[in-house]
Amino acid sequence: MLAVRSLAAGDVPAVTRIVCDLPEYFTSDVPGKVERDISRHDGWVLTDSGDVAGFAVAARRSPGAAEILWMAVDPSRRGRGFGTVLLERVLRELAADGVSVVEVKTLDRSAGYQPYEATRAFWERKGFVYVDTIDPLPGWQPGNPAAIYIAALRPTR
């Protein structure tokens, strides 16, 4: 049975395991960054019969805007709708908290890196609209062009 709840400090080892199990997506510095962001921002975990099967972390950027900083599903469970369940809950809670637009940054198609084709397909399928490419993006390693995606949770005008 799938459930979504707030991410607690005790979830860090399970979240770290998911990140480490996705080496095509996350470099070795990411677990530390995720742990730091979990302590500063809102997070959620998706559980599958009690086991942590996915997580998301979102930062508030302004009263009406948030950014999903991190999101991943256990690789053995990808492509089965788990990410959709988690994302819908995150977006519903952000909307209820007054957020109008949500940003996500991911690896741009110009990088020519195949694993992230599925990631961009996921965001686009979930209604995120490609807005821009930033290269280099401050804080990202050189050679990793960032694709900026935005989803509107409500009209802003």
Ligand X SMILES: CC(C)(COP(=O)(O)OP(=O)(O)OC[C@H]1O[C@@H](n2cnc3c(N)ncnc32)[C@H](O)[C@@H]1OP(=O)(O)O)[C@@H](O)C(=O)NCCC(=O)NCCS
Which residue ranges make up the site for ligand X (CB under 6 A)? 22, 25, 71-73, 78-84, 104, 106, 118-119, 121-122, 125
User: Quick one: 15 or 106, whose CB is closer to ligand X?
Assistant: 106
Nearest CA among 81, 70, 80, 85 for reference residue 26: 70
At position 46, the amino acid (one-letter code) is L
CB of 149 closer than 8 Å to CB of 108: no
Minimum distance from residue 40 beta carbon to ligand X (Å): 18
User: Quick one: 25 or 95, whose CB is closer to ligand X?
Assistant: 25
- Cβ-closest position to ligand X: 83
Minimum distance from residue 119 beta carbon to ligand X (Å): 4
User: Quick one: 81 or 136, whose CB is closer to ligand X?
Assistant: 81
Minimum distance from residue 157 beta carbon to ligand X (Å): 28
Instruction: Tally the C-alpha atoms within 13 A of residue 116's C-alpha that lie toward its C-beta.
Output: 15
Strands of the sheet with 51-62, listed across from one edge: 2-6, 42-48, 51-62, 65-73, 101-107, 146-152, 129-134
Q: Which tokens belong to 36?
A: 């730091």
User: Quick one: 65 or 149, whose CB is closer to ligand X?
Assistant: 149
Minimum distance from residue 31 beta carbon to ligand X (Å): 13
